Structure 1
Amino acid sequence: MIRLLIYVLLIVAAAFGAAWFADNPGTVRMEWLGYRAETSMTVLGFLLALLVFTGMAVQKLITLIARDLPFSAEKRRKRRLEKGYVALNQAMVALSAGDKKLAQRLTNKAVRLLPSQPLTHVMAAEAAKLADNPAQIRAHYEALAESKEAAFLGLRGLVGEARASGETAKARALATQALALRPKSIWALKTVFDFAVASADWGDALAVLEKAERAGVFEKPLAKRHRGALLYCQAVEADLAGDEPSARRLSMESVDLRPDLAPAVALAAKLLQAAGQAKKAEKRILSGWAAGPHPLLLKAWFALAADEPAHMRLKRVETLCAKNPAHLESHLPWPMRPWRRSALIWRARLWRRPKKAAIGGF
């Protein structure tokens, strides 16, 4: 309805203009190179409009002819695309069939016909993997990494290749680039976190862990456990470097997050005792034993009073075991040789195993 109204208004405007020119014909005179022409304004306007429409029609005709001619650039581009997609589809079938020679030939043809399509490089890389050609694999992944649309995909492939060849530093740098491109990528966050842990870069690991937790890569309980372990590693490094205040602070933070991490509890107790805070050290060991008994905790418990007599040591052990009396470690005599402790553990397990009922219910 709106278009019809616009057409009517245009026709009315054209009719009004034609009538106005008819009422005011005017005279136009032109002289050029000894030639003289005289006409009315109406005729001149009609000739100009005819010239414009003729030019538009000629341009349209030339465009149609150039597009439909068999040797036109548009036709060549379409044929090139068709051949490239056909080769790509055939390469996919060859890859699924395991025909590495045919797959490599077809993917090379597809890359030549469709150089800007990321999928062609992906298929070519898979064909190179099938043919066990690392140089071509990296070349295609590098081509993907240079494109804006598939840079992340290329970096991920290069990380896998660098890992396979043992280039850990290069793989970590590439994974960091991938994380910069996709900050919420689950793969990138996990990969960079693993590299940071493997390189003992605890600060970077904690920073990536925080991002991963916000992105939902790690659930809160798991992230809490990871953070506690990383803080303990930082505390160990600080202790080895002689920075006791930082080591004590980091170990306490680790124990707050993971009271069942026996090495962290033992380290915190040792540092607290060195700082003259024996009571706090005892509380930490007792809480750690309640969360998860461990021989390291018993060793740290004995270290709090190394010179006490035997009967006091026995009472100290009873106090510690009372925090978790149901645990198997609380029933084992200390100190004891490892083979003896293992025998007692297996004996306790067999004793707890339910007996089979005899035939007839007796």
Structure 2
Amino acid sequence: MIRLVYYLALSLLVALGAAWLIALPGTVEIAFGSWRMSPGLGTALFVVIAIIVLAIVLWAIIRRVIGAPAAIARANARRRERAGVEALSDGMIALQAGEFARARMLARDARTKLPDNPAAQLLEARAELALGDLSSAREHYRALISSDRTALAALSGLYEQARTQNRSAAAITFARKALAISPSLDWASEAVFDDLATRGAWADALDMSASLPARTRAQKAAKKRRQGVLETALALAIEETEPDTAYEHANKALKAIPDFVPAALVAARILINRGDTRRASSLLRRVWRASHHPDAATLYAHVKPGASALERLKRTQALIETPDSHPAAAIVLARAAIDAYDWSTARNALAPFVRKSPTRQMCLLMAEIEEGQSGDQGKAREWLSRAVNAPADPAWTTDGITSDDWAPASPVTGRLDAFEWKVPLETRAPTRAPSQATPDPLPAPAEPAQTQPQPSS
């Protein structure tokens, strides 16, 4: 309704303007040869305005006619571009959906319609890589690598192709080139870093890890732990050749990962070699209380070079006041007592655990106790037999393998910080049948320690 009112008001104003223009007083004299005209002033103005408007309309029509071929060409180009973009979009969807043959077909269609768009060629290369047509994919990537816009995407594709073909050296070469272009590129940084860790180039890996960005809280925590692991790896590698430098790296590792057992063992060994037994003992005592790792307690017992087995037992007893608090404490104390021929202490340390479900190492220690204390070969064999099916003890474990010593990376995959101190799942013993006989773990009461020659070490 309001629009109609506006239209009527505008029409009225135009009509009033035309009437006012025509009614203007005065005349205009127009002479052309023998031809004379004397129209009114308003009429002459109206005619002039009408001629101008007509000329404008005619020129617009003529321009449309003249420019029709170019307009048609532009319309076709726009329609072709829209079809190309649609094919490119459908191709990306098909690639993500796993329809690689359809993705390649759509990519080729997009390349035909969008010859200057590198995304279409990149899509075709990705589809060919997924289809296993590696030679064609490589040619596309090599063509894209010359452009600054597509160089990183091409290097990423070449890296993936090299990994698919198990060409590790070529893959790392492409990753290094991508890293040179963009130092913050995540996939290239991880690839180069993993290569350094796999080769054991700990110093280079440590420098590179320090330069890698960490944006979120989780990334910062992961970077801090990675730094600690690398510091430990470097300390372990140069412990014998450069002990002072190794000690500095071990301390840095302990600052990054407090009570990290591998780093603490390196630092403690270096302190022992320096003769600084007080600091070594303090460090090992702290790590033992935090982790209950047997290696920390064992090294604590041996902190004084040349100490006798009885002296090592006394140090172990000072460290482990309640052996029944943890299985590792009982095992370490029993081992030290057996070395000192203190059979009753060894038996009593294991007693709370062998009554329930002794581990493999506990069974082996009980076999030593039976043979050493009473010379009972039968009970010793029973314990050895029981050890075969007993639950495994914790060990450094990764990728289906176990190790007595920690290593910075997995020997199977090269993954950094792969070893964990835990019970290997694949070695868990099957449940023993209830009817199967087991030896009595604790003959009562425990006998006093027999007098036997004490070993010197």
> When the two structures are superposed, what TM-score results if normalisation uses the length of structure 1?
0.65
- The residue aligned with 1:161 is 161
- The residue aligned with 2:49 is 45
Name the aligned partner's letter for residue 211 of structure 2.
A
Mark the CA change 1:73 to 1:59 in structure 2 (over 3 Å): closer, same or farther.
same
**2:63, 2:112 → 1: CA distance?**
34
Name the aligned partner's letter for residue 127 of structure 1.
E
**2:9, 2:189 → 1: CA distance?**
63
**1:323, 1:218 → 2: CA distance?**
39
1:167 deviates by 1.8
Name the aligned partner's letter for residue 357 of structure 1.
P
Identity %: 22
The aligned runs of 1:1-362 (5 Å cut-off) are 14=14, 18=18, 21-22=21-22, 40-62=44-66, 67=71, 72=73, 74-75=75-76, 78=79, 111-115=111-115, 116=117, 118-127=119-128, 130=131, 132-134=133-135, 136-142=136-142, 153-163=153-163, 164-165=166-167, 166-176=169-179, 190-191=190-191, 193-195=193-195, 197-198=197-198, 200=202, 201-208=205-212, 211=214, 214-215=215-216, 218=219, 220=221, 224-236=224-236, 242=242, 244=244, 247-259=246-258, 261-272=260-271, 278-290=277-289, 291-295=291-295, 298-299=298-299, 302=302, 304-322=303-321, 326-328=326-328, 329-330=331-332, 333=335, 344=364, 350=389, 355-358=432-435
Mark the CA change 1:260 to 1:243 in structure 2 (over 3 Å): closer, same or farther.
closer
Mark the CA change 1:18 to 1:333 in structure 2 (over 3 Å): closer, same or farther.
same
1:85 deviates by 7.0
3-state SS, counterpart of residue 317 of structure 1 = helix
1:256 deviates by 3.9
Kindly indicate whether the alpha-carbon contact (under 8 Å) linking 1:273 and 1:281 is maintained by their aligned counterparts in 2: yes
1:161 deviates by 2.6
Name the aligned partner's letter for residue 298 of structure 2.
L
**2:53, 2:210 → 1: CA distance?**
74
Mark the CA change 1:56 to 1:158 in structure 2 (over 3 Å): closer, same or farther.
same
Question: More relative contact order in 1 or in 2 (CA 8 Å, sep 6+)?
Answer: 2
Instruction: List per-residue Cα deviations over 1:319-343 (Å, max 9, x = no partner).
Output: 345587623452562699xxx9798
Mark the CA change 1:58 to 1:309 in structure 2 (over 3 Å): closer, same or farther.
same
Instruction: List per-residue Cα deviations over 1:64-90 (Å, max 9, x = no partner).
Output: 66555xxx4643674687599779989
Q: RMSD across aligned C-alpha pairs, in angstroms?
A: 5.3
Mark the CA change 1:28 to 1:154 in structure 2 (over 3 Å): closer, same or farther.
farther
Kindly indicate whether the alpha-carbon contact (under 8 Å) linking 2:114 and 2:120 is maintained by their aligned counterparts in 1: no
Mark the CA change 1:27 to 1:298 in structure 2 (over 3 Å): closer, same or farther.
farther
1:205 deviates by 1.7
**1:129, 1:228 → 2: CA distance?**
38
Mark the CA change 1:203 to 1:10 in structure 2 (over 3 Å): closer, same or farther.
farther
**2:267, 2:121 → 1: CA distance?**
57
1:202 deviates by 1.1
1:225 deviates by 3.6
Name the aligned partner's letter for residue 283 of structure 1.
S
Q: Which moved more, 1:141-150 or 1:249-258?
A: 141-150
1:251 deviates by 1.8
1:176 deviates by 2.8
**2:120, 2:182 → 1: CA distance?**
22
Mark the CA change 1:343 to 1:76 in structure 2 (over 3 Å): closer, same or farther.
same
Name the aligned partner's letter for residue 126 of structure 1.
A
3-state SS, counterpart of residue 305 of structure 1 = coil
Kindly indicate whether the alpha-carbon contact (under 8 Å) linking 1:202 and 1:230 is maintained by their aligned counterparts in 2: yes
1:306 deviates by 0.7
Mark the CA change 1:256 to 1:24 in structure 2 (over 3 Å): closer, same or farther.
same
Kindly indicate whether the alpha-carbon contact (under 8 Å) linking 1:141 and 1:158 is maintained by their aligned counterparts in 2: yes
3-state SS, counterpart of residue 333 of structure 1 = helix
Kindly indicate whether the alpha-carbon contact (under 8 Å) linking 2:142 and 2:154 is maintained by their aligned counterparts in 1: yes
**2:243, 2:31 → 1: CA distance?**
101
What are structure 1's unaligned runs of at least 5 residues? none
Mark the CA change 1:98 to 1:60 in structure 2 (over 3 Å): closer, same or farther.
closer
What are structure 2's unaligned runs of at least 5 residues? 340-359, 366-383, 392-428, 437-457
**1:49, 1:232 → 2: CA distance?**
88
Name the aligned partner's letter for residue 330 of structure 1.
V
Instruction: List per-residue Cα deviations over 1:208-228 (Å, max 9, x = no partner).
Output: 2x51xx3477594x5554332
Q: From the CA coordinates, give the structure whose radius of gyration is larger.
A: 2
Kindly indicate whether the alpha-carbon contact (under 8 Å) linking 1:285 and 1:297 is maintained by their aligned counterparts in 2: yes
**2:110, 2:243 → 1: CA distance?**
61
Kindly indicate whether the alpha-carbon contact (under 8 Å) linking 2:141 and 2:158 is maintained by their aligned counterparts in 1: yes
**1:78, 1:263 → 2: CA distance?**
67
